[in-house]
């Protein structure tokens, strides 16, 4: 089931476009795409028109424009990405503060700074959200499921 607060509409539509490439008359991907759009139908009239018309060519073009950056992602996706990045920054800051406050800094010292630059992102958002943030260069994929903030983007 699609969760509009945590998942990307563009990912669902890209999956539908791929499924429809072999059989554009298959109703299952269209139904899934329409169900995902239901919560933001009013904000995305062009997308609603494409899905209502079952226009596979227009859907494929739209998905390609999103992936290339020629067109903004749907408003719902931008809000999910904004919330996910905020959650990542907050988790990273808490992790760094926890590392800095651990025993061993010494009560008479000025403390120590954390060497933590990246971390595994919060699990409440799917991998597609983190991959999209990395594609947009708002996060850097460091390998093995770890992400970092780009240089100069630290709080």
Give the integer Cα–Cα distance in Å for 128 and 144. 15
Which contiguous run of DSSP H or E holds residue 18?
helix 9-22
Tens digits of residue pLDDT in 106-153: 555 556 677 788 899 999 999 999 999 999 999 999 999 999 999 877
Residue 154 pLDDT level (bands cut at 50, 70, 90): low
Would you list the domain boundaries of the chain?
9-68, 75-148
To the nearest whole percent, how much of the chain has pLDDT over 90?
74
Residue 104 pLDDT level (bands cut at 50, 70, 90): low
């Amino acid at each position: 089931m699609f969760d509009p607060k945590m998942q990307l509409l563009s990912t669902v539509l890209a999956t539908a476009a791929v499924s429809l490439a072999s059989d554009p008359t298959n109703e299952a991907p269209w139904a899934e795409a329409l169900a995902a759009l239901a919560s933001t139908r009013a904000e995305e009239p062009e997308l609603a028109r494409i899905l209502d018309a079952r226009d596979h060519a227009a859907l494929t073009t739209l998905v390609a424009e999103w992936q290339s950056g020629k067109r903004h992602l749907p408003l719902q996706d931008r809000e999910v990405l904004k919330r996910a990045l905020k959650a990542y920054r907050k988790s990273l800051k808490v992790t760094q503060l926890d590392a800095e406050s651990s025993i061993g800094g010494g009560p008479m010292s000025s403390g120590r700074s954390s060497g933590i630059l990246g971390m595994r992102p919060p699990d409440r958002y799917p991998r597609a959200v983190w991959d999209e943030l990395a594609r947009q260069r708002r996060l850097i994929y460091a390998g093995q499921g770890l992400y970092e903030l780009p240089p100069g983007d630290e709080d």
